[in-house]
Amino acid sequence: MREFILYNTLSRKKEVFVPLTPGVVGLYVCGPTVYGDAHLGHARPGITYDVLVRLFRHLGYKVRYVRNITDVGHLENDSDTGEDKIARKARLEQLEPMEIVQHYTIRYHEAMKLLNTLPPSIEPRASGHIIEQISLIGEILNKGFAYENNGSVYFDVEAYNNIYPYGILSGRLLEDMQSNSRTLEGQEDKKSSFDFALWKKAAPEHIMKWPSPWSEGFPGWHLECSAMSAKYLGDNFDIHGGGIDLLFPHHECELAQNTAARGKGGVKYWMHNNMITINGQKMGKSLSNFITLEELFTGSHKILDQSYSPMTIRFFILQAHYRSTLDFSNEALQAAEKGLKRMMQASRDVCNLAHSYGAESLTEIKEIKEGIYSALCDDMNTPIALAHLFEAVRIVNQVKEKQSKINSEDKETLVKLFEEIVGGVLGLADEQSQSNTGDVLNGVINIILDIRKQAKANKNFAASDHIRDQLNSLGIQIKDTKEGTDWSL
RNA sequence: GGUACCCUGGCCGAGUGGUUAGGCAGCGGUCUGCAAAACCGUGAACAGCAGUUCGAAUCUGCUGGGUACCUCCA
């Protein structure tokens, strides 16, 4: 099996990936808090970890991919009065919290499916794992790294920091943070502002609450990932992923909880995707400068010049390395759209290439293949892999245009590359296939094109142009090629 | 204020010491009744200054500009 290199946030270095169990990968990724529509920012981790999973499977690993749904415990802020995000949305829309959760979970799944991401192996919900979370709080309390106050339980960062280093993941020191902290309102229950809630006592009117040894309440946000990752992947597992904005405090707290309860962090490789920016600024809910995926797919947002297909978004994201920020702009999306179109055209053409017996083998093709694999296995460098794939596109086109020849073995290599890498690992599906337009429409258009062909043969260009214009006004594009006339909606 | 990161050609975006990234746009060409599309080819960059080095986009320092995290955020 080929060596796979992965950047580990914990060590701040690229490391050779060695799974805890040979041939098996356990991956946990922080999923969405379902209180709003998925936006372009959500597409980044969705696609990043999807490609990671696809790549591991392609390389022969068995992967268990766990991605949670946060449906409780995620507060608007860290003060005692901070409202649960979902409860708040439910109050505003006069719905049950679980109606909000159901609605946005379904919509999230739909968006992820359009982006051609594979579903996770397990998709646990925080509200379905209250028992596990309560039991984890008990362990942390027993070890002396948490305290109860007024029905709520808080993680004791200072006590923890006396034994284990708090801040190793995000690279900060508690002392630094203490000397530079802002004072927040409404934290009377906590010993220190760095302490974070493991269990919160719920107000009487609160719906999302469960009984516990301490109070009727609900679990803290950071707790769910510790509890659910351990449940489905074990106390030790290979990779924990998520957006880089979750590094602190979420992942730092998770690591602390794991260590406090079990004496070890439990995660071998921490992996973080970077942000998508808009005009150089992070795209996010709190900044309300985000574009939802639906708006992108339909073009219904004032800053969008046009709509962009899910695969365009996917391609756009894959053209940047996952650890780099990626700036959104119409220009960049349009460039991605055209590049993708060319890639997919070659992907379709490669199967129909005529190979020549006795044509010399192109060493370039082997180099391209090697380049693609080594790029993907070097911390999942998809932009480099795509660059090599575009070299393959050029070869396909040259053969297609009869500017060069290819033997059957090389052709097979190319076919496999497009199938297994473009379609399989990168997950770029062909959106242009006409199979879904219906046989009747296909037939009708073919009849019309046949009439136009006859008009052209008779040099009746007025008639042929008229047909073209009429079809155009219906949104059907006509392309005259050497082989005949292509059309697309 | 603390910590970290970034600044690459018109745009997006790879690249950690010496060789063409790639995509889009541009330009030149092929094809075509025309158009569109498609295809081929191609010029162009490393924020500024100083240093290390035989040699730096790549290492070091300074200056300028920007971003992220420190409160919820993918």
Q: What ipTM was reported for this prediction?
A: 0.94
Average pLDDT rounded to a whole number, residues A132-139: 97
Q: Is the dihedral of CA A348, A350, A352, A353 positive or negative?
A: positive
Q: Is residue A236 scored above 90 in pLDDT?
A: yes
Tracing tokens 């978004």 back to the chain, one arrives at A313
Half-sphere exposure of A359 (CA within 13 A, CB side): 18
Q: Is cis: bond before A249, omega within 30 of 0?
A: yes
What pLDDT shows up at residue A78? 63
What pLDDT shows up at residue A465? 86
Q: List strand B contacts in A 423-462 (CB < 7 A).
A: 456, 461
Nucleotide nearest to A472 (CA to C1'): B36
Q: Is the CB of A193 under 7 A from strand B?
A: yes
What pLDDT shows up at residue A401? 86
pLDDT digits (tens, 9 = 90+) for A361-386: 888 999 999 999 999 999 999 999 99
What pLDDT shows up at residue A357? 80
Q: For all residues of chain A together, what is the average pLDDT? A: 90
Q: Is the CB of A335 under 7 A from strand B?
A: yes
pLDDT digits (tens, 9 = 90+) for A390-402: 999 999 999 998 8
Instruction: Give me the sheet containing A152-155, strands edge to edge.
Output: A146-149, A152-155, A197-201, A217-219
What is the reported pTM?
0.93
What pLDDT shows up at residue A50? 98
On whether the CB atoms of residues A24 and A62 are closer than 8 A, the answer is yes
What pLDDT shows up at residue A181? 56
Residue A39's pLDDT band (cuts 50, 70, 90): very high
Average pLDDT rounded to a whole number, residues A244-269: 95
Q: Is residue A360 scored above 90 in pLDDT?
A: no
Extended beta strands in A275-424, E state:
276-278, 281-282, 326-328
Q: Which helix (H) or strand (E) holds A162?
A: helix A157-163
Q: Is the CB of A341 under 7 A from strand B?
A: yes
What pLDDT shows up at residue A436? 55
CA diameter of chain A:
91
Extended beta strands in A208-362, E state:
217-219, 237-243, 267-273, 276-278, 281-282, 326-328
What pLDDT shows up at residue A246? 95
Which range, of A178-187, A188-197, A331-340, A434-443, averages the lowest pLDDT?
A178-187
